[in-house]
């Protein structure tokens, strides 16, 4: 994806100006890759990294291999262009089906450009597997002989909950789950030598009406930068304290 820290929007076409913008791995996906590699280091197994994108996205897969992933698969076809989150979820799920057996599908909680957080859950739906979102900790339990489960701590806004699911399952992770490692020299050498397979719409047996712009129910009518909001104030403290402060403010303003 393009590095969005410096990205600008073309006012004429309402699209991101991608020319000259460096490509990076979505930061939340780096957390997902790191978690996958850590789980592999702890429990064994194999990490396959998948991305849908133009041919240059192979570089992102190579950086995942440098971090310790075993292989990378690039889903790339002109027919995928213009895909929204629905068509993207469909396409990725088709690729995962082609891989065959798997225990865990990991995602970053969202992309930092679209910020939708829909693709992880979308893929889980297409694969018809359980999903746990916003994970801050993943433990694989009962792996010895029994059917393994994932016990996942989910970070919610003001609390956390622990959910457990049988595998295979899909989990989306948040930034706080880990700190992605720096690539190592040996990892980079491995990445350099690694061959990235490219799968097209045909390879993954994707239905033409479900992919790309044609398969996307979302239509972008208009993109605009909202005007800055006026003065705002962040209330801090425990939920109880914040509630009281908010109540008093609303009362002061004679809203309630």
Partner 1 sequence: MDYLFTEEQKMIKDLARKISEEKVKPVRAELDETGTFPWELMKEFGKADLCGLYIPEKFGGFGGGCLEFCLATEEVSRICGGVGVTFAASALGAFPILMFGTEEQKTKYLPDIASGKKLAAFGLTEANAGSDAGGIQTTAKKDGDYFILNGTKQWITNGGEAETYTVIAMTDKLKGSRGATAFILEKGMKGFDFGKKENKMGIRCSATRELVFQDCKVHKSQILGKEGMGFIVAMKTLDRTRPGIGAQAVGIAQGALDEALAYSKTRIQFGKPISSFQGVQHMFADMATQVEAARALVYATARTVDTGTNDISRDSAMCKLFASDTAMKVTTDAVQILAGYGYMKEYPVEKMMRDAKITQIYEGTNQIQRNVIALGLIKELAAKK
Question: What distance in Å separates the CA atoms of residue 195 and residue 183, rounded to the nearest whole number?
Answer: 18
Residue with smaller CB distance to partner 1, 26 or 48: 26
Shortest spacing between CB 189 and partner 1, in angstroms: 7
CB of 26 to partner 1, least distance (A): 17
Structure tokens at 88: 């993207």
Q: Pick the closer one to partner 1 by CB: 5 or 159.
A: 5
To partner 1, the closest distance from the beta carbon of 171 in angstroms equals 25
d(CA 214, CA 82): 8
Residue closer to partner 1, measured from CB, 61 or 204:
61
Do the Cβ atoms of 41 and 67 come closer than 8 Å? no
Q: Which residues bind partner 1 (CB under 8 A)?
A: 181-189, 192
Q: State both tokens at 138.
A: 């993943």
In terms of CB distance, is 41 or 139 closer to partner 1? 41
Q: How far is the CB of 191 from partner 1 (least distance, A)?
A: 10
Q: Please check whether residue 85 is in contact with residue 114, taking contact to mean a CB–CB distance below 8 angstroms.
A: yes
Task: Considering the complex, state which of residue 4 and residue 188 has its C-beta at the smaller distance from partner 1.
Answer: 188
Strand partners, 53: none
Toward partner 1, which CB reaches closer, 62 or 154?
A: 62
Rounded Cα gap, residues 72 and 176, in angstroms: 25
Closest contact distance (angstroms) between CB of 186 and partner 1 is 5
Tell me how far apart the alpha carbons of residues 40 and 106 are, in angstroms, rounded to a whole number. 13
Q: Where are the beta strands (DSSP E) in the chain?
A: 9-10, 15-16, 48-52, 71-75, 104-108, 131-141, 149-155, 160-166, 169-173, 197-199
- Residue 182 CB, shortest distance to partner 1, in Å, is 5
Q: Which residues pair with 150 in a beta bridge?
A: 140, 165
């Amino acid at each position: 994806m393009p590095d969005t820290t410096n990205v600008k929007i073309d006012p004429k076409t309402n699209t991101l100006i991608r020319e000259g913008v460096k490509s990076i791995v979505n930061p939340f996906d780096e957390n997902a890759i790191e978690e996958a590699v850590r789980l592999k280091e702890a429990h064994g197994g194999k990490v396959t990294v998948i991305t849908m994108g133009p041919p240059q996205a192979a570089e992102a897969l190579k950086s995942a291999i440098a971090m310790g992933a075993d292989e990378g698969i690039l889903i790339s076809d002109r027919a995928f262009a213009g895909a929204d989150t629905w068509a993207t979820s469909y396409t990725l799920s088709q690729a995962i089906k082609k891989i065959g057996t798997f225990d865990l599908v990991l995602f970053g909680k969202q992309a930092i450009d679209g910020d939708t957080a829909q693709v992880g859950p979308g893929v889980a739906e297409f694969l018809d597997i359980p999903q746990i979102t916003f994970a801050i900790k993943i433990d694989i339990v009962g792996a010895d002989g029994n059917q393994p489960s994932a016990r996942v701590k989910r970070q919610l806004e003001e609390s956390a909950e622990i959910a457990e699911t049988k595998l295979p399952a899909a989990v989306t992770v948040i930034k706080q789950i880990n700190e992605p490692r720096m690539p190592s020299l040996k990892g980079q050498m491995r990445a350099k030598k690694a061959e990235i397979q490219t799968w097209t719409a045909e390879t993954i047996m994707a239905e033409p009406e479900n992919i790309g712009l044609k398969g996307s129910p979302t239509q972008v009518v208009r993109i605009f930068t909202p005007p800055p909001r006026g003065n705002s104030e962040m209330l801090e403290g425990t939920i109880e304290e914040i509630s009281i402060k908010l109540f008093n403010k609303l009362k002061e303003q004679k809203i309630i």
